[in-house]
Amino acid sequence: MSSNLDPAISARLKRSPDGLVPAIAQQYDTGEVLMLGWMDDEALHRTLTTGRCTYWSRSRQEYWVKGDTSGHVQHVKSVALDCDADTVLVKVDQVGAACHTGARTCFDADVLPVSE
């Protein structure tokens, strides 16, 4: 699949065997971790150029823009690669819920016990 992603960025990415990198969405002003999605080169390109998070749906095998159907939009504030270039951190201004369940974050409903 071709992409308009800057070749210099594309060359740095370390993708999974299916061509994807995990993309962590984080609320830009509070640091709250909202969700994890998946991006290929084209999804990252769209995210960088449109100001809205675009992900690749592994189950539906199609692109989806966060908020297009739910109204729970992610406005992109910054995008960074981790030190290994195998994960993307997208700092966003989240409108409404980030989780498909209607929760603010995907990480608040099933907190596991930790031994001290």
Burial (0-12, 13-18, 19+ Cβ within 10 Å), 43:
buried
Dump pLDDT digits (tens) for 102-116: 999 999 888 888 998
Quick one: average pLDDT of 10-29? 96
Quick one: average pLDDT of 10-28? 96
Whether 55 and 37 have beta carbons less than 8 Å apart is answered as: yes
Dump pLDDT digits (tens) for 41-79: 999 999 999 999 999 999 999 999 999 989 999 999 999
Confidence (pLDDT) at 39? 97
Give the residue extent of every domain in the chain. Answer: 7-94
pTM exceeds cut of 0.85 = yes
- Between the CA of residue 71 and those of 5, 65, 93, 98, 100, what are the distances in Å? 26, 10, 13, 10, 11
Vertex 69 angle, CA 109 and 3, to 5°: 100
Residue 19 to residue 32: CA distance in whole angstroms: 27
Confidence (pLDDT) at 109? 82
φ, ψ dihedrals at 35, nearest 5°: -165, 170
Residues 7-94, CATH architecture: Roll (3.10)
Confidence (pLDDT) at 1? 55
| pLDDT beyond 60 at 90 | yes
Confidence (pLDDT) at 110? 84
Share of the chain above pLDDT 70, in %: 98
Helix (H, G, I), strand (E, B) or coil at 43: helix
Helix (H, G, I), strand (E, B) or coil at 46: helix
Quick one: average pLDDT of 22-32? 98
Residue 84 to residue 12: CA distance in whole angstroms: 9
CA nearest to 20, candidates 110, 76, 87, 84 = 87
